[in-house]
């Protein structure tokens, strides 16, 4: 098939938030707790620890579904975990908050003085049984495939997306919004703009011509700051020079200063959890594709990767990115669906939006041949039992080609091409 061209002119917008945004504070705490559990379990496993129940410690057996709420002076932890290790949740919480930059009691929320309510409890055995022994194994005791053993930690559908708009195969609006948010935090922490405070948001509007990004039309940055800052004479020009210009220069982006807006409501001194309560999992579009790709509805943070909300969403991005990287399509969206406790996916859909260079049905067959999307296989292929998850909890789970982000690898290009032949 020839790639279908979109000749319309339109503007698409995506947003990001900094690590000090209340919802992102929650995501980072949730994932830091998961990382702590995985780390402690691995340490106990290395020591050969056996629990009184007779169960050995192992990161493979650890489970987490941790939720966090933050508000003025308070952190509430909830959810369920399974671990043989002792984790000092309070110490984890205070460390994360301090590293983000909430260390001043005058902000109404700080690492040393905030109250912490811990309501985390043990994972339900009813949920655990389907992950420990899948539906397939329970109904076929002779099964010896190790990847049939682990069932999905929940039901649902997950999406992955990739496109050829940026070097990391992400949509340009969300990619730039994340880079601006990262830079906003960088200049706060390194002292370039020392009057900034942790909370902030970025938003980028990109004009498309013929389905391709043509220029950045609007940029919005709202950032918390100290009280005595001149918003027009200081904040705006310094954000342009220290944040926007370096990012857009690095990525070769065409933009116009006349389309820049900073703190349009004016003063932004009261921020963070004092101004707005935060919750885990409330920034799922920021976490994924900025609205350019569909979303199944489940969040990632706080969940170990047996929860397919996370593990399968990472795998779907891995599949979509390899399809685009292989030159099989300019855009690719992958949907995979699961039943709780079941190893085999219930459905697989590959959508290329008319941009594929081969028949879409052939791409689906190649994906099925190359990628094993059972939860156990995903855990092994992407090495998702490591304590790497707090790093994912701000500035996007996708489009960051870091060593820990194994789902960003384009390591199945040759296999996909071979399958098509």
Taking the C-alpha atoms of residue 265 and residue 413, their distance in angstroms, rounded to an integer, is 47
Cα distances (Å, whole numbers) of residue 219 to 13, 47, 182, 204: 9, 52, 15, 5
- Which residue in 217, 276, 362, 404 is the catalytic one? 276
> Is 145 among the residues known to form the active site?
no
Q: What is the pLDDT of residue 140?
A: 66
Report whether pLDDT(105) > 80: yes
- Asked if 221 and 239 count as a contact pair (C-beta separation under 8 A), the reply is yes
In this predicted structure, what is the pLDDT of residue 138? Answer: 62
Residues 375-407 have pLDDT tens digits of 999 999 999 999 999 999 999 999 999 999 999
What is the pLDDT confidence band of residue 126, given thresholds at 50, 70 and 90?
A: low
Check residue 3 and report its DSSP letter. P
Min mean pLDDT across 63-67, 313-317, 391-395 is at 63-67
pLDDT score for 60: 83
- pLDDT tens digits, 319-377: 999 999 999 999 999 999 999 888 999 999 999 999 999 999 999 999 999 999 999 99
Q: Name the phi and psi angles at 401, rounded to 5.
A: -85, 70
Per the annotation, the verdict on 23 as an active-site residue is: yes
Q: How far apart are the first and last CA of the chain?
A: 16
Query: How far is it, in rounded angstroms, from Cα 280 to Cα 342?
Result: 26
188 vs 223: CA distance, rounded Å: 10
Residue 225 has a pLDDT of 96
At residue 154, the 3 state secondary structure works out as: coil
The helix (H) or strand (E) run that includes residue 365 is helix 360-370
Tokens representing 336?
């995979």
**From 199, 309, 333, 408, active-site residue:** 309
Residue 80 annotated to the active site: yes
Considering only CA atoms, which of 230, 152, 220 is closest in space to residue 193?
A: 230
Q: Pick from 54, 96, 62: which is nearest to 77 by CA?
A: 96
Q: Is the pLDDT of residue 23 over 60?
A: yes
Q: Is 24 a catalytic residue?
A: yes
The closest alpha carbon to 201, from 178, 217, 175, belongs to 178
Q: What pLDDT score was predicted for residue 124?
A: 64
Residue 148 has pLDDT above 90, yes or no: no
Q: What confidence category does residue 103 fall into, taking pLDDT thresholds of 50, 70 and 90?
A: very high
Percentage of the chain exceeding pLDDT 90: 81
Distances (CA, A) of 345 to 96, 151, 295: 36, 10, 17
Catalytic (active site) residue 303: yes
DSSP character string of 155-180: -EEEEEEEETTSTTS--HHHHHHHHH
Token reading at 277: 């309560």
Nearest to 390 by CA among 17, 7, 35: 35
* CA–CA dist 305, 152 (Å, integer): 9
| Lowest-confidence region among 52-66, 128-142, 150-164 | 128-142
* 268 tagged catalytic: yes
> Is 282 an active-site residue?
yes
For 60-72, what is the mean pLDDT?
A: 93
Please confirm, yes or no, whether 398 is among the known catalytic residues. Answer: no
Pick the catalytic residue from 15, 19, 41, 67: 67
Q: What is the DSSP string of 197-238?
A: EEEEEEEEEEEEETTEEEEEEEEEEEEEE-TT--IIIIIHHH
The pLDDT of residue 51 = 76
Is residue 232 part of the annotated active site? The answer reads no
What residues have CB less than 8 Å from 141, skipping those under 6 apart?
none
Phi-psi region of 354 (alpha: psi -120 to 50; beta: other; left: phi over 0): left
From CA 129, how far away is CA 146, in angstroms rounded? 16
Given the structure tokens 């932890």, which residue do they identify? 77
| Mean pLDDT lowest among 27-36, 45-54, 62-71, 385-394 | 45-54
Question: What does the alpha-carbon distance between residue 263 and residue 274 come to, in Å, rounded to a whole number?
Answer: 18
For residue 149, count other CB atoms closer than 10 A to its CB.
18
What was the pLDDT predicted at 4? 45
**E strand or H helix that includes residue 247:** helix 245-250
Whether residue 391 lies in the annotated active site = no
Look up 197 and say whether it is catalytic.
no
> How many residues are present in the chain?
421
**Average pLDDT of the chain, as a whole number:** 92
Q: How confident is the model at residue 202 (pLDDT cuts 50, 70, 90)?
A: very high
Catalytic member of 63, 183, 201, 317: 201
Please give the pLDDT value at position 355: 96
CA distance 268 to 224: 5
pTM recorded for the entire structure: 0.93
Phi, psi of 242 (to 5 degrees): -95, -20
Q: What mean pLDDT do residues 206-227 have? A: 96
Q: Which of these is catalytic: 12, 21, 199, 300? A: 21
The catalytically annotated residue of 80, 132, 133, 380 is 80
Distance of CA 43 to the CA centre of its chain: 26
């Amino acid at each position: 098939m020839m790639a279908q061209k979109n000749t319309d002119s339109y503007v698409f917008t995506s947003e990001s938030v900094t690590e000090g945004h209340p919802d992102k504070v929650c995501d980072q705490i949730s994932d830091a707790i998961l990382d702590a559990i995985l780390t402690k379990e691995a340490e106990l496993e290395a020591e050969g620890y056996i629990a009184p129940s007779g169960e050995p410690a192992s990161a493979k057996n650890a489970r987490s579904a941790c939720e966090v709420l933050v508000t003025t002076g308070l952190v509430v932890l909830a959810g369920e975990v399974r671990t043989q290790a002792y984790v000092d949740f309070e110490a984890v919480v205070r460390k994360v908050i301090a590293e983000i930059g909430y260390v001043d009691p005058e902000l109404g929320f700080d690492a040393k003085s905030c109250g912490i309510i811990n309501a985390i409890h043990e994972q339900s055995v009813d949920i655990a049984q389907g992950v420990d022994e899948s539906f397939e194994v329970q109904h076929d005791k002779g099964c010896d495939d190790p990847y049939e053993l682990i069932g999905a930690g929940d039901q649902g559908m997950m999406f992955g997306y990739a496109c050829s708009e940026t070097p990391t195969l992400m949509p340009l609006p969300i990619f730039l919004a994340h880079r601006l948010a990262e830079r906003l935090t960088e200049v706060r922490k390194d002292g370039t703009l020392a009057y900034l405070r942790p909370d902030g948001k970025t938003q980028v509007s990109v004009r498309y011509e013929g389905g391709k990004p043509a220029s950045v039309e609007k940029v919005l940055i709202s950032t918390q700051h100290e009280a005595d800052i001149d918003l027009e004479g200081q904040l705006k020009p310094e954000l342009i020079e220290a944040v926007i210009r370096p990012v857009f220069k690095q990525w070769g982006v065409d933009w116009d200063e006349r389309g820049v807006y900073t703190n349009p409501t004016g003063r932004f001194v009261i921020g963070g959890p004092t101004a707005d309560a935060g919750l885990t999992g409330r920034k799922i579009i920021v976490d994924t594709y900025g609205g350019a790709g569909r979303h199944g509805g489940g969040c990632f943070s706080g969940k170990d990767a047996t929860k397919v909300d996370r593990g399968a969403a990472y795998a779907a991005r891995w599949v979509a990115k390899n399809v685009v990287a292989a030159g099989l399509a300019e855009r690719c969206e992958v949907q995979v669906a699961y039943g709780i406790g079941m190893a085999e996916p219930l459905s697989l859909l590959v959508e290329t939006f008319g941009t594929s260079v081969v028949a879409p049905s052939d791409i689906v067959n190649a994906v099925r041949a190359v990628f094993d999307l059972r939860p156990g296989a995903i855990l092994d292929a992407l090495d998702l039992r490591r304590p790497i998850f707090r790093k994912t909890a701000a500035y996007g789970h996708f489009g960051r080609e870091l060593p820990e982000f194994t789902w960003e690898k384009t390591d199945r290009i040759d296999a996909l091409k071979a399958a098509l032949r």
